[in-house]
Amino acid sequence: MEYTVVYDTYVEIPIRISKSTPDEARAKRLERWPKEAGLSQSLGEGGTFMDLVKSFARDYELETGERGWNITSQDGRISIKMEWKLLRNGEQRGAAKMEGEIPLTPAEEGGNMVYTAKIKYSIELDNDVLAEKASSDVVEFNL
């Protein structure tokens, strides 16, 4: 199966944590952030990434499957990879992906430490699914 990217955007999202938060608690919060808040960030008029994924799934008659996460902390940053399978009849026909990092070098802003999550959101669909949708949306005229 060959896939085509149908949605792709890059965003930088500030994560504010109080300076008074202990280092260990701050690190745990940053590691939890992708799963707790990463999918619900506003991406403009299309809503959140979760909204967009559900909209694409509905439009292309797909179901959302499992989300696979890989979050690691090393070399002064938290690396994030998530793949959310898009299925039809139990077979993967696309994927929604979130990839990026949170550098562990914050800026200071008032009473907060501000970390910047650098995230790429994308959705890719099987070319056959795209072709089916294109042909089903064609209106037939008989003269």
Question: 20-51 pLDDT, tens per residue?
Answer: 999 999 999 999 999 998 888 888 777 899 99
Q: Given pLDDT bands bounded at 50, 70 and 90, which one contains residue 139? A: very low
Per-residue tokens: 19: 């300076």
Percent of residues, the chain, with pLDDT higher than 90: 78
Q: Where are the domains of the chain?
A: 3-130
Q: What's the first-to-final CA gap in the chain, in angstroms?
A: 38
Please indicate whether residue 51 or residue 133 has the higher confidence score (pLDDT): 51
Question: CB neighbours (10 Å) of residue 48?
Answer: 17
Which pLDDT belongs to residue 77? 95
Residue 137 pLDDT exceeds 90: no
Question: 68-104 pLDDT, tens per residue?
Answer: 999 999 999 999 999 999 999 999 999 999 999 999 9
List phi, psi (to 5°) of 56.
Answer: -60, -40
Distance, CA of 60 to CA of 140 (rounded, Å):
20
Residue 17 pLDDT exceeds 80: yes
Percent of residues, the chain, with pLDDT higher than 70: 94
Which pLDDT belongs to residue 143? 55
What is the torsion angle, in degrees rounded to the nearest 10, for the CA atoms of residue 55, residue 57, residue 58 and residue 61? 160
